[in-house]
Amino acid sequence: MEFTIARSVLLKPLQIVSGVVERRQTLPILSNVLVTVKNNQLFLTGTDLEIELVGFAPLEKVSKEGTTTVAARKLLDICRALSDESDLNFSLEENQMTIRAGKSRFTLATLPATDFPHTENMIFTTEFKIDQNKLRKLLGKVHFAMGQQDVRHYLNGALFDVDNGTIRCVATDGHRLAFSSIDQVETGKKNSRVILPRKSILEMMRLLDTNASDEVTVYLGENHFRLSSADFTFTSKLINAQYPDFNKLIPRSINNVAIASREGLKQALVRASILSNEKFRGIRLQFDQNSLKIVANNPEQEEAEEIVHLDYKGSDMEIGFNAAYLLDVVSTIAAENIRCSFTDANAGILIEASEKDDSSLYVVMPMRL
């Protein structure tokens, strides 16, 4: 194998792929990136056995095609350390990869490409295109509610539900729930309902650009999910489980409704949470006629109190919440005003944008203080 590539061209796919390569692996080959040169194209592949990510770049000068694996982190560090205008020449001799750039030379150990794990043959039953900024925003509205190392493994991810032109995304850790959807997507008639792992959701958020309008192609199968763009191909295994019926967690019979300025409520929560218990982050919300008092205290007998104006005509009520959970929600909603709906102090609170142009909704369960 021998080829030459500009540093600026190599750096982008290398940064894309390095996201799934862990520094410390039980299998040495998993710390490596698979380098393949074929048909004047460079393919870089990284995997952790759950996710496979392929980045590609065009090559202007190829002397010899081939494939091998080298340490991903070392290759990325070398590329970053070189000057922007550098051209890198790669050559493979026996078990060593030599990289030359100007007066610099680096020799890296390699491992056989035949030892590099590949995902098995996959069958995808659903395929559709979507603007990557829309998909990125959809994931961004729910990702924070995913479970972390929950024994109920199906909560350590997000539900991705495709049904007749509508994409729904749901995440819950049992204490809170986040729901968002996109309509008018040409998904075809095939319906799919899969659970994407937490790491896959976070990796896709890193890959997708909120400001880019170009399309990506989504492939769904029984065991795998794939996302393909002009720069990368992302493949993930799915969580094989039944996702709980999230509709049962959404409050339906609501007696009390409050509407408040999102920014005003957010800043009040930020200030009050400073003096909340560092471990449990508990705060009290005291609803009164057209006002909300937020109270936080801690074992050191310190206390914070904030009063927020809101539009509320319900009964007086005090409810305890985890301040971090509420802040996650109000920081995610983009509307100017938010609507908080609840029945009593023991039921979850439904939070959503007061405007009708946002389909997202959030449920936060109360906590005892």
SS3 of 41-56: EEEEEEECCCEEEEEE
CA angle 184, 185, 191 (to 5 degrees): 110
Do 296 and 360 have their domain in common? yes
Name the DSSP letter for residue 116: S
Edge-first strand order for the sheet with 291-297 is 192-197, 157-163, 166-172, 176-182, 361-364, 349-353, 337-342, 256-261, 303-312, 291-297, 282-288, 317-322
140 and 98 in one domain?
no
Range list of β-strands (E), 269-336: 282-288, 291-297, 303-312, 317-322
Instruction: Quote the domain boundaries for residue 183.
Output: 124-247
- 310 and 323 together in one domain: yes
CA distance 143 to 169: 9
- Residues 306 and 265 placed together within one structural domain of the fold: yes
Q: Are residues 171 and 197 in the same domain?
A: yes
Query: Which position has the higher pLDDT, 179 or 23?
Result: 179
Reported as a single tens digit per residue, the pLDDT across 336-355 is 999 999 998 888 999 999 88
CATH number at residue 330: 3.10.150.10
Q: Please tell me whether residues 238 and 280 are part of one structural domain.
A: no
The answer as to whether 369 is a domain residue is: no
Q: What confidence score (pLDDT) does residue 94 get?
A: 87
Q: Using a pLDDT cut of 70, give the percent of the chain over it.
A: 100
Q: For the chain, give me the number of helices (H) and strands (E)?
A: 6, 25
* pLDDT surpasses 90 at 164: no
Whether 230 is in a domain gets the answer yes
341 and 251 in contact (C-beta within 8 Å)?
A: yes
* Residues counted in the chain: 369
- Closest to 340 measured CA to CA, from 307, 316, 315, 363: 363
Same domain, 137 and 236: yes
Provide the pLDDT for residue 87: 95
What's this model's pTM, rounded to 2 decimal places?
0.92
pLDDT digits (tens, 9 = 90+) for 213-257: 899 999 999 999 999 999 999 999 999 999 999 888 888 878 899
- Helix ranges restricted to H, 24-103: 72-81
Q: Does residue 202 form part of some domain?
A: yes
Interior angle at CA 214, CA 213 and CA 219, nearest 5: 120
The predicted-structure confidence for 285-319, as pLDDT tens digits, reads as follows 999 989 999 999 999 999 999 999 999 988 899 99
Which stretches does DSSP call E strand in 17-103? 32-38, 41-47, 51-58, 61-64, 66-71, 87-93, 96-101
Please indicate, yes or no, whether residues 227 and 311 belong to a single structural domain of this protein: no
Q: Are residues 180 and 257 in the same domain?
A: no
User: For residue 368, what pLDDT is reported?
Assistant: 86
Per residue in 91-139, pLDDT tens?
999 899 999 999 999 999 999 999 999 877 789 999 999 999 999 999 9
pLDDT of residue 236: 96
Last residue of a domain, one of 230, 247, 264: 247
**Phi, psi values for residue 138, rounded to 5°:** -60, -50
Residues 52 and 141 in one domain: no
Which of the listed residues 229, 247, 265 is the one where a domain comes to its end?
247
Of residues 62 and 145, more confidence is placed in 145
Q: What is the mean pLDDT of the chain?
A: 93
